[in-house]
Structure 1
Amino acid sequence: MFDQYFQGWEVRPEFQPEFISLWEGWLGPGHIHELDQVAEPQWQRFNALLKLVVERYDVLRADPERSQVTLISNPDEITQSFDASMAKDASQFVRLVIPALGCVLAEDWDFTYILWYKDQAAVDALAPLVESAGLHHFRRSAA
């Protein structure tokens, strides 16, 4: 199943990105300082999202190093403390496959997750969970 979603460490090119963030769009140069002002309560919204997704769907954690996926049985397997999250590098970012929606939910830089999808139905299905967690989603063209 890994190969249906990934080529090595990257999501396959036929998937489109939808960005999930603390903000409604890209911060831009005039607001980039807001990244430094994110505190643990804001950051915890991502853990809230992960818990909601695991409660609603079967979720598989991708391991690009081994080219495999494993079922997440408990959201605590993928949530982290604020300090642990701030200290990790990109190779430790969580990459999740949601087979029922045919999509990947991947942690990224600057308090952003990316929903990689082929079918808009995946975005539509996850949008209420994103909003319930107090987050926003937008496409690349948002500014």
Structure 2
Amino acid sequence: MFSEYFEDWEVKPEFEKEFVSLWSGWLGSENYHKLDLVTERDWSRFNAFIKNLAVNFKIEHVSLDTKSTIEVKYIESCLSTYKESMDKDESLFTKLILPELGCVISEEWDYTYIIWHKNNGAVEALSPYINQSGLKHFHD
């Protein structure tokens, strides 16, 4: 499954990006201070989003080290605490595959996740889960 989505250690370039964030668009330099105002409660919306997905979708956890995936049986095993997340190195960011939707969800910097998709309805299917979790989504 890994090779369907990844080339070397990156998501394949044919995937489009939909950004999931606490905000409805890029902050811009005049609003960077908002990053410092994010609370643990705000941050927890991302874990809520992933937990809600796990109720209705099969999820595969991506290991870039072994270039493989493993089915997630217990979603909590893929989630970080607030403290862990604040101290996390980029190499430890979570990457998940939702095979049913043909997409990858990756944790990124600055309170942002990316849905990597092929305009196949994945964003539309995930939109209610994003909204239910109190998050926003947008694309460039």
TM-score of Structure 1 vs Structure 2, range by shorter chain: over 0.9
Distance 1:9 1:88 in 2: 18
Partner of residue 25, structure 1 = 25
Partner of residue 68, structure 2 = 68
Q: Name the Cα RMSD after superposition.
A: 0.7
Distance 1:30 1:130 in 2: 26
Distance 2:86 2:8 in 1: 24
Answer whether contact 1:40 1:82 (CA < 8 A) is retained: yes
Partner of residue 56, structure 2 = 56
TM-score normalised over the length of structure 2: 0.98
Partner of residue 134, structure 2 = 134
1:1-143 equivalences under 5 Å are: 1-140=1-140
Residue type at the aligned position of 2:10: E
Distance 1:89 1:8 in 2: 19
Q: Please report how far the alpha carbon of residue 74 of structure 1 lies from its aligned counterpart in structure 2 after TM superposition.
A: 1.3
Residue type at the aligned position of 2:65: E
Deviations 1:72-95 (A, max 9, x none): 111101112100001011100000
- Between the two proteins, the alignment pairs up a number of residues equal to 140
Deviations 1:55-81 (A, max 9, x none): 110000000110100001111011121
Residue type at the aligned position of 2:114: I
Distance 1:71 1:39 in 2: 31
Residue type at the aligned position of 2:73: S
Q: Please report how far the alpha carbon of residue 119 of structure 1 lies from its aligned counterpart in structure 2 after TM superposition.
A: 2.3
Distance 1:102 1:128 in 2: 17
Q: Please report how far the alpha carbon of residue 114 of structure 1 lies from its aligned counterpart in structure 2 after TM superposition.
A: 0.1
- The residue matched to 2:121 in structure 1 has which SS? helix
Distance 1:32 1:9 in 2: 29
TM-score normalised over the length of structure 1: 0.96
Residue type at the aligned position of 1:37: L
The gaps in structure 2 that reach 5 residues or longer are none
Residue type at the aligned position of 1:79: L
